Structure 1
Amino acid sequence: MKIIVVGASGILGQAVVKHLQALGHDIITASRNSGMERVDIRDDASVRALFARTGTVDAIVSTAGVVSFEPLSSMSTEQFMLGLQDKFLGQVRLALIGLAFVNAGGSITLTTGITGHQPIAAGVNATAVNLGLEGFVQAAALELPNRIRINAVSPNVLTEALPDFAPYFPGFGSVAGAEAARAYERSIAGIQTGQVFKVGY
Structure 2
Amino acid sequence: MRLLLVGATGTLGTAVANEMKSDADIISAARTNADVKVDITSTESIREMFNKVGEIDALVCTAGAAHFGHVKEMTPEQNLVAVNSKLLGQINLVLLGLDYIRENGSITLTTGILMDDPLVTASSAAMANGGVQAFVRSAAIELPKNIRINNVSPTMVTEAKEKYGSLFKGFKPREAKDVALAYKKSILGAQSGQTYKVY
Matched residue pairs, number?
199
CA–CA distance in structure 1, aligned partners of residues 36 and 115 of structure 2: 30
Q: Are positions 1:172 and 2:171 aligned together?
A: yes
CA distance in 2, matches of 1:157, 1:98: 28
SS in 2 for 1:74: coil
Query: Match of 2:152?
Result: 153
SS at match of 1:187: helix
Which residue of structure 1 lines up, in the alignment, with residue 56 of structure 2?
Answer: 57
Q: Distance in 2 between matches of 1:172 and 1:78?
A: 29
Q: Shift of the alpha carbon at 1:159? A: 0.5
In structure 2, distance between residues paired with 1:120 and 1:141: 29
Shift of residue 168 of structure 1? Answer: 0.8
| 2:30 counterpart of 1:31 | yes
C-alpha deviation, 1:24, in angstroms: 3.2
Q: Distance in 2 between matches of 1:160 and 1:116?
A: 21
**Residue in 2 aligned with 1:197?**
196
Letter in 2 for 1:83: A
Equivalent runs, 1:1-201 vs 2, <5 Å:
1-21=1-21, 23-199=22-198, 201=199
Question: 1 CA distance for matches of 2:171 and 2:132?
Answer: 23
Whichever residue aligns with residue 9 of structure 1, its letter is T
SS at match of 2:144: coil
Where does the alignment leave 5 or more consecutive residues of structure 2 unmatched? none
Q: Deviation digits for residues 104-130 of structure 1, max 9, x if unmatched?
A: 000000000000100111000011000
Per the alignment, in what secondary structure is the counterpart of residue 40 of structure 2? coil
Q: Matches of 1:77 and 1:93 in 2, distance apart? A: 21
Listed one character per residue, the Cα deviations across residues 70-98 of structure 1 (whole Å, up to 9, x for unaligned) are: 01111111111110001110000101101
In the superposition, the TM-score normalised over structure 1's length comes to: 0.97
Structure 1 distance, partners of 2:136, 2:26, is 23
Q: CA RMSD in A?
A: 0.7
Cα shift at 1:25: 1.1
* Alignment deviations for residues 147-197 of structure 1 (CA, whole Å, 9 cap, x no partner): 100000001101000110011111000110000000011001111000000
Separation (CA, whole Å) in 2 of partners of 1:90 and 1:34: 20
Runs of 4+ in 1 over 2 A off after TM superposition: none
Tell me, what secondary structure is at the counterpart of 1:120? coil
- Look up the equivalent residue of 1:2 and give its one-letter code: R
Structure 1 gaps, min length 5:
none
What is the distance in 2 between the residues matched to 1:162 and 1:115?
15
Percent identity between the two aligned chains: 42
Deviations 1:126-145 (A, max 9, x none): 11000000000000001101
CA distance in 2, matches of 1:166, 1:188: 29
Taking the aligned partners of 1:66 and 1:30, their CA distance within structure 2 comes to 16
